Chains A and B, each alone.
Chain A
Amino acid sequence: MTKLETPTKKTLGTRLKELVRQQIFIPIAALLILVVFNLIVDPSFFAITLGQNNNGDPVLSGYLITILNNASELVILAIGMTLVTSASGGQDISVGATIAIAGSVILRILCGDQVRPETMQAPIIVAFLVGCVVAMLFGAFNGTLVAYFKIQPMVATLIMFTAGRSIAAWINNNTLPIVNDPVFAYFGNFIPGIPVPTPVFIAIACMIVIALVLKFTTLGLYTQSVGINSHSSRLNGIDPAFVKFLTYVILGLCVAVAALIKVSRISTINYSVIAKDIEMDAILAVALGGNALSGGKFNMAASILGAYVIQFLTTTLYKFNVASDALPAYKAVVVIILVVMSAPVVREKLSKMWKARKEAK
């Protein structure tokens, strides 16, 4: 028996080691820590209740639903951001500002010239498609600067970061249009009769689309090869500039979807506040997923999980009555702990210490 036990133990140990080495382990571990912490402090965190909203429709409520709901935009952005990071080795810091632009365009199409029209001036799908085109154009602008003018991504997107919210205000002549139609609010809230918030479905749809795209097209392969070595990809017949350009356009599409959810949540827009600091959270999601911010290989699932971890953390902090202004300080501490724990240097040192201790025994 003992002879049999030792090999199984070893395989279990090596399996554990393999698991720890995997990239997705970082966000999973972070999520587990947060879950365990909440379980110990207050198990009611995980309670989900079926209630009714003002219109008498059934809705699910609870912290978990809040997390899933509020993380939707972040997840959608993280998908695009992962591709951009992988291909260009830099991040797009203009996503918050472009969300403001896309949201402004959507409202402009829906409201026409009026500030508070009785009926919508155009079908939602038209407004959304125009929003997509505009967001993709701005993505293309960023992409052109990065891919063809060879400007560092963070610097190139600094332009839109500076101008974006101003352009958004300019599109609507600095008025705040309000959409009265309840149908428009479905995208950011609940569809009557379905108790799960709509953004969750939109986020899941985006995940399925990107999973299919990565599975059945060469997008993933090309982005990673360009990110790892753009010169050798060129020699292999890939156009690195075009691949980089494409990832920024895809991020533009993600931005448009996130913008639809954002403006639908409140049926209006606030140019200086909408999606504020979301670019930082999106980049953090990519980093928490263990992806190198300097480009190259990526793990989409880890990024998406990273986005949920960030929202989980935010909601946990809100639950402990942390003022929303003071929230960043706590977030920073947690982020530093997570990042230090997952830093390769620290992990190497820890494993060396672990080995030394084992040998000493």
Chain B
Amino acid sequence: MAPEISVKNGKLSRRAGISDTNLLLTITIVVFFVMYACAVIFLGSGFQKPQAFFNILNDNAALIILSCGMSIVMITGGIDISVGTLTALVCMSCAVHLDYNGGSVITAMLLALGIGVAFGLVQGYLVAYLEIQPFIVSLAGMFFAKGMTTIVNATQFNVEHEAFKALKATRIYVPGMGSINKLGKYVPAYVEPGVVVALLVVIALFILLRWGKLGRNFYAVGGNMHSANMLGINVRRTKFLAHLLCSTLAGIGGFVYFMHVGSGSPSHASGAEMNAIASSIIGGTMLSGGVGNVVGTFFGVLSLSTIKNIVSSLGLDEAWWTNITVAAMICLFLVVQSVVLLRKNQSKQ
């Protein structure tokens, strides 16, 4: 499959000059649809219902938001590995705020946003203005959020706040989609409110990256910092805003995650930062900067969770198969990307 695509796109690149971003995006989307189609054809029951697809969205709404933020930082050539533990911190803080401190849902939302913005301001300042490597800064951020979560509250508990429970149980029915269950009743397909937030984030960021001045600056800074500087782009401010945006999105994603699970725990969203990085990579964002797209990231998240579902419905239930398959998938995508880009660069020369 891989060489086929590369040959096809190789021709395209000579004719229309397809950019790296679009090339990798095409690969991701094609692979996702092929994979899902295979699942529907060969694995049947579990994947045919529309709700199966919407459940993937429901389970991964938070990850989509986190991954989009990660993609933006990666496009500017940085990285932020603090988003996973930041999600846990947001969950725990909101849970404690709602149940013990008598807060309302609105203040909990503001709290989540505030935590995200605060992390973004500090990390962005350290990375952009003090020129410390983003990996180290976000490593410290990750440690800090991890420790703070247990300082806020060390044990897991479910939130009993009435208004929040109502919000958590909110279902948005998708018109025209549904299936007939075993009793012969028609069950409409639904999504959680978090999915709507996630989709809005993807659309907003897509518009920002495609047509926004700031979005174009992200690509310019990630592609070549010095030429961006010479073009009159404020490199430091751009980097600062990228990190601020990423952490703010992590705050929003944290609240979406909180809405999905409805509890606070130090082990929430553990490893989410690595899943976010993996999704971005599968979606065609390159860690070296300058290449990437949030639509690809969106499909990256979907691919990642589809492969997980496929593995579990194949009956390979031992815990290790999921991880090994996901790793194999990342490996495959990386090698395909690297081969495609190497070939493309050679054909240019």
Task: Check A158 against B320 for contact (C-beta < 8 Å).
Answer: no
Contact of B139 among A165, A284, A330, A344 (CB under 8 A): A284
Q: Which residues of B contact A4 (CB under 8 A)?
A: none
The interface bits of chain B over 113-136 (1 if a CB of A lies within 8 angstroms of the residue's CB, else 0) are: 000000000000010011111011
Q: Which residues of B contact A91 (CB under 8 A)?
A: 135
A140 to B286, CA, bound (A): 23
A108 to chain B, nearest CB (A): 15
Task: Check A162 against B139 for contact (C-beta < 8 Å).
Answer: no
A283 to B187, CA, bound (A): 52
Task: Check A166 against B323 for contact (C-beta < 8 Å).
Answer: yes
The total of interchain contacts (Cβ-Cβ below 8 angstroms) comes to 135
The interface bits of chain A over 73-99 (1 if a CB of B lies within 8 angstroms of the residue's CB, else 0) are: 000000000000000000100000000
The interface bits of chain A over 21-41 (1 if a CB of B lies within 8 angstroms of the residue's CB, else 0) are: 000000000000000000000
A280 to B136, CA, bound (A): 9
Q: Which residues of A contact B139 (CB under 8 A)?
A: 280, 283-284, 335
Instruction: Tell me if B148 counts as interface (CB < 8 A to partner A).
Output: yes
Q: Which residues of A contact B287 (CB under 8 A)?
A: 152, 154-155
CB closest chain-B residue, reference A145: B334
Give 20 pairs: A residue, B residue, CB < 8 Å, sorted on A.
A159-B331, A162-B330, A166-B323, A167-B320, A169-B320, A174-B319, A293-B133, A293-B135, A325-B154, A325-B266, A326-B147, A326-B150, A329-B144, A332-B143, A332-B144, A335-B143, A339-B126, A340-B126, A343-B130, A343-B132
Instruction: Tell me if A102 counts as interface (CB < 8 A to partner B).
Output: no
CB closest chain-A residue, reference B146: A328
Q: Which residues of A contact B338 (CB under 8 A)?
A: 149-151
Task: Check B281 against A346 for contact (C-beta < 8 Å).
Answer: no
Instruction: Tell me if A327 counts as interface (CB < 8 A to partner B).
Output: yes
Q: Which residues of A contact B320 (CB under 8 A)?
A: 166-167, 169-170, 174
Main DSSP-derived SS at the A contact region: helix
A280 to B281, CA, bound (A): 21
A166 to B325, CA, bound (A): 10
Q: Which residues of B contact A340 (CB under 8 A)?
A: 126, 130, 132
Instruction: Tell me if B141 counts as interface (CB < 8 A to partner A).
Output: yes
Instruction: Tell me if A333 counts as interface (CB < 8 A to partner B).
Output: yes
A287 and B334 contact, Cβ closer than 8 Å, known pairs A155-B287, A323-B150, A325-B147 = no
Q: Which residues of A contact B266 (CB under 8 A)?
A: 325
Task: Check B318 against A155 for contact (C-beta < 8 Å).
Answer: no
With an 8 Å Cβ cutoff, the count of chain B residues facing the other chain is 48
The interface bits of chain B over 16-50 (1 if a CB of A lies within 8 angstroms of the residue's CB, else 0) are: 00000000000000000000000000000000000
Task: Check B147 against A328 for contact (C-beta < 8 Å).
Answer: yes
Instruction: Tell me if A161 counts as interface (CB < 8 A to partner B).
Output: yes
Task: Check B328 against A329 for contact (C-beta < 8 Å).
Answer: no
The interface bits of chain B over 260-282 (1 if a CB of A lies within 8 angstroms of the residue's CB, else 0) are: 00000010000000100110010
A331 to B146, CA, bound (A): 11
A331 to B126, CA, bound (A): 17
A154 to B281, CA, bound (A): 11
Q: Which residues of A contact B79 (CB under 8 A)?
A: 154
B18 to chain A, nearest CB (A): 20
Instruction: Tell me if B326 counts as interface (CB < 8 A to partner A).
Output: yes
The interface bits of chain B over 310-328 (1 if a CB of A lies within 8 angstroms of the residue's CB, else 0) are: 0000000011111110111
Q: Which residues of B contact A294 (CB under 8 A)?
A: 133
List residues 320-361 of chain A with CB under 8 A from any CB of chain B.
323, 325-333, 335-336, 339-340, 343-346
Task: Check A293 against B136 for contact (C-beta < 8 Å).
Answer: yes
CB closest chain-A residue, reference B332: A159
CB closest chain-A residue, reference B335: A149
A340 to B323, CA, bound (A): 37
Instruction: Tell me if B170 counts as interface (CB < 8 A to partner A).
Output: no
A155 to B284, CA, bound (A): 12
A326 and B151 contact, Cβ closer than 8 Å, known pairs A162-B274, A345-B131 = yes
Task: Check B339 against A335 for contact (C-beta < 8 Å).
Answer: no
List residues 76-106 of chain B with CB under 8 A from any CB of chain A.
79
A162 and B327 contact, Cβ closer than 8 Å, known pairs A331-B143, A335-B140, A345-B131 = yes
CB closest chain-A residue, reference B141: A332
A54 to chain B, nearest CB (A): 32
Task: Check A329 against B131 for contact (C-beta < 8 Å).
Answer: no
Instruction: Tell me if A50 counts as interface (CB < 8 A to partner B).
Output: no
Contact of B319 among A151, A169, A343 (CB under 8 A): A169
The interface bits of chain B over 211-228 (1 if a CB of A lies within 8 angstroms of the residue's CB, else 0) are: 000000000000000000
Instruction: Tell me if A156 counts as interface (CB < 8 A to partner B).
Output: yes
Task: Check A336 against B140 for contact (C-beta < 8 Å).
Answer: yes
A345 to B274, CA, bound (A): 30
Q: Could you list 5 further interchain pairs (A-B, Cβ under 8 angstroms) beyond the known A163-B323, A328-B142?
A: A149-B339, A162-B326, A293-B135, A329-B143, A340-B130
Q: Which residues of B contact A243 (CB under 8 A)?
A: none
A151 and B334 contact, Cβ closer than 8 Å, known pairs A169-B319, A326-B151, A344-B131 = yes
